[in-house]
Structure 1
Amino acid sequence: MEHIEFAYCLNGPDAGQRLDSEAHIVTSLKADELAWLHLVADHPETDPWMEEVLDFVEPPTRAALTAKSTRPRTSVQEDGLVVILRGVNLNPGEEVEDMVSLRVFLNPARIITLSRRPLLSLTDLRREVEAGEGPQSAGTFLAALVEHLGGRIDGALFDLAERVDALEDAVIATPDPAQRGQVVDERQEVIDLRRYLGPQRDAIGLLVSGGHAMLSKSDRRRLNEAHDKLVRAVEELDAMRDRLIVLKDEIDSAVQDRLNRNLYLLSILSAIFLPLGFLTGLMGINLGGMPGAESGAAFWVFTGALCVVAVGQFWVLRRLKWI
């Protein structure tokens, strides 16, 4: 049973009881009382087991639940409701923005969820079920799950916003080319989160407006609040993305200004030493008839003339306000 992560009975006389055996799980899923089964999405036995044992799950639904690549969406099937969601990845050693796909199938009598990696939001929901405080209906389960996912997303966005604020303050104070890598990393995280939270906002919006019979007024209200939070989260991500673009431009501008100053300094030095180099080269040729070749004071006279030329160049450059 490695493909089965856990299963619980959610209502009826056995509410909150964990289902340990495969036979008990299948019986509970086919009974009238609401049961919740969580499977490992990428386990090789999951798809064949669902096809063989869970005959009440239609092939299109099973294909949606076990697909290798998913994006958040809501789909109404003949046998129930399929909701694909994403949760932030808080597993040790992994990136937060590498969001974990959570596939959910539910109807009034059964709930089946699948994921490839652990999700703390599912752990929170399991604790509530085991404590006897879990959802009693499929609609309430979905609302609670979306709220838990949203809470973790809010925490991740808060941490990201704190880092972006600190980076913005540092760049404004002292732009440094070394900060460019950090700006790129933060921007990539924003883009990755935005890629999934945008469709997730739309998927939850469809749940709110779809008028599904299994969702009570209370469930819709909770989902609507979660949807509003996601709308604000997506707007905040868009704002952070724009701010990071401005920060990158600020760093690039500072680097360009520094390069221009260095090139300008080199140009000034070249303007000063090019005539001096020409004169010293001209006077250093080994040809007969060079003026002052027989005079002992010629070197000092020529050196003095070079100093006069250099001072004259400096004065001209100052008058032109080049230095």
Structure 2
Amino acid sequence: MEHIEFAYCLNGPEAGQRIDHEDHIVARLRADELAWVHLVADHPETDPWMEEVLDFVEAPTRAALTAKSTRPRSSVQEDGLVVILRGVNLNPGEEVEDMVSLRVFLNPARIITLSRRRLKSLTEMQEAVEAGEGPQSVGGFLTGVVERMGGRIDEVLFELAERVDVLEDAVIASPDPAQRSQVVDERQEVIDLRRYLGPQRDAIGQLASGGHPMLTKHDRRRLAEAHDRLVRGVEELDAMRDRLIVLKDEIDSAVQDKLNRNLYLLSILSAIFLPLGFLTGLMGINLGGMPGAESPWAFWAFTGGLVVVGILQVWVLRRLRWI
């Protein structure tokens, strides 16, 4: 039974009790009282088990729940409601932006969830059920999961915004090419989060506005609040993405300015030493008739002339405001 991670009764006389035997799980799924089963999405036995036991779920719905690649969405089916969400990855050693997919199927008497990796929000829901504080309706379960996932997302976005603020202050104070890699890393995290939170905002918005008859007005109000939080989160991600683009441009501009200053300095030095090099080269040719070749003071006179020429060049460049 490795493909079944856990199962619980959510209402009725056995509410909050864990179901450990597979036969009991199957029986509860076929009963009228609400039961919750969580499956390992990528386990090889999950697909055959769902096909055999969940025969009340249509084949396209089962395929959507076990698909390898998913994006957040909500879909009303004849046999129930399918909701696919993404939660931030808080598993040790993994990247936060590598979001965990949670696939949920709901109808009035059954809740089936699937994921490939552990999701802290789902673990918290499991703990609440075991403590006798879990939801006793489909809408309560869905809104509880959405709110918990939204809280984790808000925490991650807050930490990300703080890092971007610190980085922005550092770049404005003293742009450094070494900061470019940090800007790229933060921007990649923003892009990865935005990739899933945008569709998730739309999916929850659909549930809040229309949803399904299983969702009460109270459920839809809670979903509307979760949707509003996601709207603000996506807007904040868009703003951070734009700020990081500006920071990268600022670093590139600072690097370009430094390069231009160095090239300008080299150009000034070249402008000064080019005539001097020409004169020394001209006077250094080994041909007869060179003026002052036999004079003991000719070298010092020529050196003095080079100094005068150099001073004159510097004066001209300053008059032209080149230096």
Q: How would you bin the TM-score normalised by the shorter chain? A: over 0.9
Q: Which runs of 5+ in 1 are unaligned?
A: none
Q: Deviations over 1:121-146 (max 9, x none)?
A: 00110111000000000111000010
Alpha-carbon offset, residue 71 of structure 1: 0.4
Alpha-carbon distance between aligned partners in 2 of 1:288 and 1:30, rounded to the nearest angstrom: 115
Q: Aligned ranges for residues 119-198 of structure 1 at < 5 Å?
A: 119-198=119-198
**Distance across 1 between alignment mates of 2:174 and 2:275:** 39
Alpha-carbon offset, residue 211 of structure 1: 4.5
1:17-32 to structure 2, matched below 5 A, reads: 17-32=17-32
User: Does 2:54 align with 1:54?
Assistant: yes
Give the SS at the match of 1:86.
Answer: strand
CA shift for structure 1 position 225? 0.5
Q: Deviations over 1:209-264 (max 9, x none)?
A: 11411001111111010000000000000000111111111111111111100000
Q: AA paired with 1:7?
A: A
Structure 2, unmatched stretches of 5+, are: none
Deviations 1:259-286 (A, max 9, x none): 1000000000000000000110111111
Within 5 Å, give how 1:262-277 maps onto structure 2: 262-277=262-277
Shift >2 Å, 4+ stretches: none
Contact 2:74/2:206 (<8 A) preserved: yes
Q: Is the 8 A contact 2:76 2:212 kept in 1?
A: no
Distance 1:291 1:23 in 2: 115
The amino acid across from 1:165 in the alignment is D
Q: TM-score, normalised by structure 2?
A: 0.99
In 1, Cα distance between equivalents of 2:90 and 2:96: 6
- SS, match of residue 6 in structure 2: strand
Structure 2 equivalent of residue 226 of structure 1: 226
The residue type paired with residue 227 of structure 1 is H
Q: CA RMSD in A?
A: 0.7
Q: How does 1:1-323 map to 2 (within 5 A)?
A: 1-323=1-323
The superposition leaves residues 278-300 of structure 1 with CA deviations (integer Å, 9 ceiling, x where unpaired) of 11011111111111111111110
Q: Which one-letter code corresponds to 1:12 in the other structure?
A: G
Aligned AA (1:295): S
1: CA distance, partners of 2:298 / 2:182: 61
Between stretches 242-251 and 204-213, larger displacement belongs to 204-213
Question: What's the CA shift string for 1:44-94, capped at 9, x where partnerless?
Answer: 111111111221221011000000111000111111000000000011111
Q: Per-residue CA shift, 1:80-110, capped at 9, x if unaligned? A: 0000000000111111111111000000100
Counterparts of 1:134 and 1:120 in 2: how far apart (Å)?
Answer: 15
SS in 2 for 1:178: helix
How far, CA to CA, are the matches of 2:290 and 2:6 in structure 1?
Answer: 101
Quote the Cα distance in structure 1 between the aligned partners of 2:186 and 2:147. 26
Aligned length: 323
Measured in 2, the distance between the counterparts of 1:194 and 1:65 equals 23
Name which of structure 1's ranges 209-218 and 135-144 shifts more when overlaid on structure 2. 209-218
Amino acid corresponding to residue 287 of structure 1 in structure 2 = L
The code of the aligned residue for 1:82 comes to V
